[in-house]
Amino acid sequence: MRKIAFIGLGNMGGPMAANLLKAGFEVAVYDLQPAARERFCELGAKVADTAAGTLHNAECVISMLPSSPHVEALYLGPDGLLGKLDPKVLVIDCSTIAPQSARKVAAEAASRGLTMIDAPVSGGTAGAAQGTLTFIVGGPSNALEKARPLFEAMGKNIFHAGDAGSGQVAKICNNMLLAIHMAGTSEALNLGVANGLDPKVLSEIMLKSSGRNWSLEIYNPWPGVMENVPSSRAYAGGFASKLMLKDLGLAQEASQSSGAMIPMGQKALDLYARHCEGEGASLDFSSLVASFREGLLK
């Protein structure tokens, strides 16, 4: 597969599509935002005016969209893309959505003779830019093998979680844990600073102690502690808090449908819901620490 249709050029999708271009794939792209489309003109991609416009001669369609309704609107219905694709075309959705939505779209694809896999990613915007993402795949193993060269151009780790929707379940579990340790890291740093500690020194201490975690080591939320992370640029870019809140909502839905209790996940959802009531919604999810600093999360 060399000819790829890529739909969704946001903070994650844009770098992913750019890495496919760098790897020598022929990429036709579409995004609702004109600025995103214009950037890809400069990168040498074929830029379409509609999602359907990316499909000419495509051997694979990749989508990276914000939520379940966006994915279902793109693929399903009388004008959905599934009705416009040759059965030979592989469909890959890298969005993080509800498992039941992933299964719904995959089932409709199968009814039309198409193969679809859900392949949500982990690694953040830095991983997307550097081509080191982790792909968590749900769907047929032979489809994963067919897609592997594409994943290897955009990422470093590839896992097969199981059948359709399994990639989404694993991603929801991962992001719930991410939210929990980001909240805990933010709370601990704020406690230390409030009691006179230097946040950088405290971070170094915890990194060499049992409190070590990804948020502390790779994505420190306290401004000035770490370079090249959202907290060093006023929480611009990155993974928006409102998207983390969306993913925590998906975890809550999965909890309710399965009966698995998530008390810490629920607490993280409550914290992000309160954080997103203000300007934090559009800022990177590590900006949660600002709500702790401002005394808004009591």
Q: What is the mean pLDDT of residues 247-257?
A: 96
Q: Is residue 58 part of a domain?
A: yes
Is 200 known to be catalytic?
no
The rounded distance, in Å, linking the Cα atoms of 15 and 130 is 8
The number of folded domains in the chain is 2
What pLDDT is recorded for position 34? 93
Which residue range(s) make up the domain with 277? 169-293
The model's confidence at residue 177, banded by pLDDT at 50, 70 and 90, is very high
For residue range 120-160, list pLDDT tens digits in order.
999 888 899 999 999 999 999 999 999 999 999 999 999 99
Cβ-contact 237, 11 below 8 angstroms: yes
Judgement on whether residues 142 and 183 belong to the same structural domain of the protein: no
Judgement on whether residues 121 and 150 belong to the same structural domain of the protein: yes
Judgement on whether residues 116 and 18 belong to the same structural domain of the protein: yes
Q: Which of 121, 139, 163 is the last residue of a domain?
A: 163
Q: Which of 163, 180, 212 is the last residue of a domain?
A: 163
Judgement on whether residues 123 and 202 belong to the same structural domain of the protein: no
Angle at 8 between CA 159 and CA 112, to 5 degrees: 70
Mean pLDDT of the chain: 96
What pLDDT is recorded for position 125? 86
Q: Is residue 7 part of a domain?
A: yes
Q: Which long-range contacts (CB under 8 A, 24 or more apart) does 36-43 make?
A: 36/9, 36/10, 37/9, 39/9, 39/14, 40/9, 40/14, 43/18
What pLDDT is recorded for position 110? 97
For residue range 182-240, list pLDDT tens digits in order.
999 999 999 999 999 999 999 999 999 999 999 999 999 999 999 999 999 999 988 99
Q: Which of 163, 192, 226 is the last residue of a domain?
A: 163
- Among the residue ranges 17-26, 37-46, 247-256, the one predicted with the least confidence is 37-46
What pLDDT is recorded for position 298? 76
The rounded distance, in Å, linking the Cα atoms of 91 and 106 is 9
What pLDDT is recorded for position 142? 96
For residue range 62-106, list pLDDT tens digits in order.
999 999 999 999 999 788 999 999 999 999 999 999 999 999 999
Strand-strand pairing, 121-122 and 90-93: unpaired
Q: Is residue 241 part of a domain?
A: yes
Judgement on whether residues 208 and 284 belong to the same structural domain of the protein: yes
Judgement on whether residues 233 and 87 belong to the same structural domain of the protein: no
Of 80, 79, 73, 178, residue with least CA distance to 120: 178
Judgement on whether residues 128 and 196 belong to the same structural domain of the protein: no
Q: Is residue 298 part of a domain?
A: no
Judgement on whether residues 107 and 14 belong to the same structural domain of the protein: yes
- Whether the per-residue pLDDT at 285 is higher than 80: the answer is yes
Catalytic residue (one of 3, 84, 171, 242): 171
Judgement on whether residues 60 and 186 belong to the same structural domain of the protein: no
Supply the CATH number for residue 109's domain: 3.40.50.720
Q: Is residue 119 part of a domain?
A: yes
Query: Within 10 A of 201 (CB to CB), how many other CB atoms are there?
Result: 11
Judgement on whether residues 257 and 125 belong to the same structural domain of the protein: no
